[in-house]
Chain A
Amino acid sequence: MDWIVPFILTVITASTPLLLAASGELVTEKSGVLNLGVEGMMLVGAIAGFAVTATTGSAVLGIVGAMCAGVLMSLIFAFLTLTLMANQVATGLALTIFGVGFSALVGSGFVGFAIQPLPSLSIPGLSSIPVLGPILFGQDFLVYLSFAIVVGIGYFLTKTRAGLILKAVGDSHHSANAIGYSVIKIRYLATMFGGAMSGLAGAYLSLSYTPMWAENMTAGRGWIALALVVFATWRPGRLLAGAYMFGLISVMQLHAQGAGIHVPSQFMSMLPYLATVIVLVIISSDRAKIRLNAPACIGQAFRATQ
Chain B
Amino acid sequence: MIRLEPRRQHSQAMVYLSPVLAIIMTLVVGGIIFAFMGKNPFDALYTFFILPINNSYGISELLVKATPLVIIAIGLAMGFRANVWNIGAEGQLTMGAIFGGGLALYFYDSTSVFLLPAMMVLGAIGGAFWGAIPALLRTRFNANEILTSLMLTYVATLFLSFLVHGPWRNPEGFNFPESRPFPDAGLLPMIFDGTRVHLGTAIAVFVVLAGWLLLSKSVIGFQLRVVGKAPQAARHVGFRQKRMVWFTLLLSGGLSGLAGLFEVAGPIGQLQSSISPGYGFTAIIVAFLGRLHPVGILFGGLIMALTYLGGELAQMTLQLPNAVTGLFQGILLFFLLACDVLTKYRVRFGSIAAKGRTA
Question: A108-B321, A108-B323 in contact; A84/B146 too (CB < 8 A)?
Answer: no
- Which of A86, A102, A270, A273 is close to B330, meaning CB atoms less than 8 Å apart? A102
- Chain B, Cβ-Cβ closest to A286: B142
Quick check: B150 and A101 within 8 Å, CB to CB? no
Cβ–Cβ < 8 Å partners of B141 in chain A: 281, 284-285
Quick check: B337 and A277 within 8 Å, CB to CB? no
Quick check: B154 and A83 within 8 Å, CB to CB? no
Q: Does A245 contact B (CB under 8 A)?
A: no
Quick check: B327 and A105 within 8 Å, CB to CB? yes
Q: Which of B114-130 contact A (CB under 8 A)?
A: none
Category for how many chain B residues contact A: 35 or more
Q: Does B148 contact A (CB under 8 A)?
A: yes
Q: Does A306 contact B (CB under 8 A)?
A: yes
Q: Does B182 contact A (CB under 8 A)?
A: no
Which of B43-51, B158-166, B190-198 touches A? B158-166
- Chain B, Cβ-Cβ closest to A306: B352
Question: A80-B338, A270-B154, A277-B137 in contact; A101/B324 too (CB < 8 A)?
Answer: yes
Q: Does A55 contact B (CB under 8 A)?
A: no
The CA-CA distance from A223 to B281 in the complex, in Å, is 15
Quick check: A270 and B327 within 8 Å, CB to CB? no
Chain B contact surface mostly: helix
Cβ–Cβ < 8 Å partners of A97 in chain B: 281, 284-285, 326, 329-330, 333
Quick check: B159 and A84 within 8 Å, CB to CB? no
Q: Does B151 contact A (CB under 8 A)?
A: yes
Q: Does B4 contact A (CB under 8 A)?
A: yes
Q: Does B152 contact A (CB under 8 A)?
A: yes
Quick check: A98 and B330 within 8 Å, CB to CB? yes
Question: A97-B281, A97-B285, A101-B328 in contact; A285/B142 too (CB < 8 A)?
Answer: yes
The CA-CA distance from A36 to B281 in the complex, in Å, is 14
Quick check: B150 and A98 within 8 Å, CB to CB? no
Q: Does A46 contact B (CB under 8 A)?
A: no
Q: Does B209 contact A (CB under 8 A)?
A: no
Quick check: A266 and B144 within 8 Å, CB to CB? no
Question: A93-B87, A266-B161, A280-B143 in contact; A98/B333 too (CB < 8 A)?
Answer: yes
Quick check: A86 and B340 within 8 Å, CB to CB? yes
The 8 A-B residue pairs with the shortest CB-CB distance in the complex, in nearest-first order: A101-B326, A98-B330, A104-B323, A101-B327, A266-B162, A94-B333, A108-B321, A86-B337
Q: Show 21 A/B contacts (Cβ-Cβ < 8 Å), sorted by A.
A: A80-B334, A86-B338, A86-B340, A90-B80, A90-B284, A90-B337, A91-B337, A93-B284, A94-B337, A108-B321, A220-B150, A220-B151, A223-B151, A227-B151, A230-B144, A264-B165, A266-B158, A273-B151, A277-B147, A285-B142, A290-B142
Taking A94-B330, A101-B330, A104-B321 as known contacts, 10 extra A-B pairs with beta carbons closer than 8 A to each other, sorted by chain A number, are A80-B334, A80-B337, A94-B337, A104-B323, A104-B327, A105-B327, A220-B151, A270-B159, A280-B137, A281-B143
